[in-house]
Amino acid sequence: MSDQELDRLFAAYRDAVPDPEPSPAFLPKLWEAIEARRTFRLRFQRASRLLITASGAIWLAMAMVLIIESTVSNSRPGPAIEYFLFHDLSNQKPVGRDVWKQLFAEAGFKNVAEDYLSFARTAIFTIR
Amino acid sequence: MLVDFADIEQARSGDDAAFSRVVSAYRKRIFGTIGRLIGRADDVEDVAQEVFLRLYYSLDQLRTPEVFEPWLYRLTVNAAYDYLRKQKRRSERPMADLSDQQVLLADAAEGTRRGNEERQKAGIAELVQELLAGVSEADRMLLILKEVEGLSLKELEAIYRVRENALKVRLFRARQRVIKAWSAAARCAPGSRGGSVTKEKLS
């Protein structure tokens, strides 16, 4: 096949495949698609704005919770809160280290090691 | 240009009636180009919808109405690329089928002798599409735009945003590949009358 034959083949192809006639519904369908995309874009913009606002509010709320929590935990260490809460809910009085030692002794545990964490005002008893 | 610059300017500034005029003026031409680029008549309307949809939402980026046509062709080529990528059309149309297509073409030519012009046209379309399947998608589109759609190198330069010399080289290589594909197919199918039939039909 030569270049001239290829040119003739392309010309024949051009004649063989004429421009198809668009359907009468083409333009109405196009406008429907434009409207659908426009609506989607508007919804997406609204949703993104809402998301940005909500994430800002959530961030602010989380920051406040963290600040409050750090203030509380500075005054009372975590295990102490659980301890006091448990006793408060079960209407029991919180007891001190000496009472615990006495309770262990009465229960028959002779060898009980005590580690006192002064910074947390917490005692850990280990029965040996 | 098929429309006034004023229509394009108005459409760009959000005038829906002007946009409809632009679509009405170009749709037939764009349908034809898409049909030849993707080679599937059934999907032409869907791809054309996508082209004009993209046009609507990108018109505000058009610098001047003078470059409207290359802009529209660029959108058309890109939409055709996207379509072909989705369809993976090339894997469905292997070159091995070429000899069969030549036989079809020969049959089409016989039909022509019986006065069946439609069959002949279908045969030519099939043959060209199979020959073009032998080159890359990019080169195929370039060849169609230049050789079939009749766009000038200047217009192609604006569409592809590459230099004229680079386009010439690509076109030359693409043409050589098509010629080679034809020769290879003719060698593979010595019994087929494809080569002589085509010469006969094109003369």
pLDDT digits (tens, 9 = 90+) for B88-98: 655 555 444 45
Least Cα separation, residue A64 to chain B (angstroms): 43
Q: Which residue of chain B is at minimal alpha-carbon distance from A8?
A: B202
Q: What is the pLDDT of residue B203?
A: 43
Give pLDDT tens digits for B9-48: 999 998 999 999 999 999 999 999 998 888 888 899 999 9
ipTM above 0.90, yes or no: no
Q: Which H or E element spans position A114? A: strand A112-117
Query: What average pLDDT does this structure show over A22-27?
Result: 90
- pLDDT, residue B128, reads 87
Task: Give the containing element (helix H, strand E) for A125.
Answer: strand A122-127
- What value, to the nearest 5°, has the Cα angle with vertex B79 and ends B77 and B81? 70
Which residues of chain B form CATH 1.10.1740.10?
Answer: 5-87
Q: Please compute the mean of the pLDDT values over residues B150-169 and round it to a whole number.
A: 90
- Contact with chain A for residue B148, Cβ under 8 A: yes
Distance (Å, rounded) from C-alpha A48 to C-alpha A53?
9
Mean per-residue pLDDT, A15-19: 82
Statement: residue A94 has pLDDT above 80: no
Nearest to B36 among A5, A8, A17 (CB): A17
Nearest chain A CA: its distance from B122 CA (Å)? 7
Question: What amino acid is encoded at B139 in this protein?
Answer: D
| Chain A residues within 8 A of B131 when measuring between CB atoms | 9
Chain-wide mean pLDDT for chain B?
A: 81
Q: Quick: pLDDT tens for B110-137.
A: 555 555 778 888 888 888 888 888 888 8
Roughly how many angstroms between the first and final C-alpha of chain A, as a whole number?
99
Report yes or no: A127 and A111 within 8 Å, Cβ to Cβ: yes
pLDDT in the model for residue A14 = 87
Taking CA atoms, what residue in A is nearest to B194? A1
Q: Residue A124 gets which letter from DSSP?
A: E
- Evaluated on CA atoms B183, B112, B146, B26, the torsion sign reads negative
CATH pick for B5-87 out of 3.90.1300.10, 1.20.120.1200, 1.10.1740.10, 3.40.50.1980: 1.10.1740.10
User: A2 to chain B: which residues are within 8 Å by CB?
Assistant: 179
**Which residue of A2, A7, A13 is the best one to mutate when testing the B interface, meaning the one whose CB has the most B CBs within 10 A?**
A13
Q: What are phi and psi of A122, to 5 degrees?
A: -130, 140
| B56 CA to centre of own chain | 22
Closest chain A CA to residue B33: A19
The pTM score is 0.64
pLDDT per residue as tens digits for the range A32-91? 999 999 899 889 999 999 999 999 999 999 999 888 877 766 655 556 667 677 777 777
> Which residue type does B73 have?
Y
- Please tell me the distance from the alpha carbon of residue A76 to that of residue A120, in angstroms, as a whole number: 8
Among A83-92, B49-58, B94-103, which is the least confidently predicted range? B94-103
pLDDT at B23: 95
- Going by pLDDT thresholds of 50, 70 and 90, the confidence category of residue B197 is very low
Say how many Å lie between the first and final Cα of chain B, rounded. 33
Give the mutation candidate from A3, A17, A26, A35 for the B interface (greatest B CB count, under 10 A).
A17
pLDDT at residue B103 greater than cutoff 60: no
Cα separations in angstroms, A56 against A30, A44, A48, A70, A98 = 39, 18, 12, 21, 50
Statement: residue B102 has pLDDT above 80: no
Q: What is the pLDDT of residue B49?
A: 95
Residues contacting B12, CB < 8 A, separation 6+: B59, B60, B62, B65
Q: pLDDT band for B77, please (50, 70, 90 cuts).
A: very high
Q: Which residues of A touch B140 (CB under 8 A)?
A: none
Q: Find the mean pLDDT for residues B144-149.
A: 91
Rounded to the nearest angstrom, the minimum Cα separation between B192 and chain A is 15
Mutate to test the interface with B, among A6, A7, A44 (most CBs of B within 10 A): A6
Torsion, Cα of A108, A111, A117, A122 (10° steps): -10
Q: Which CA distances in Å does B200 have to A16, A17, B105?
A: 16, 19, 12
Q: Is the separation of the CB atoms in A30 and B53 below 8 Å?
A: yes
- Assess B65–A contact: CB distance below 8 Å, yes or no: no
- Whether residues A9 and B202 touch (CB distance < 8 A) is answered with yes
Residues 6+ apart with CB under 8 A from A121: A77, A80
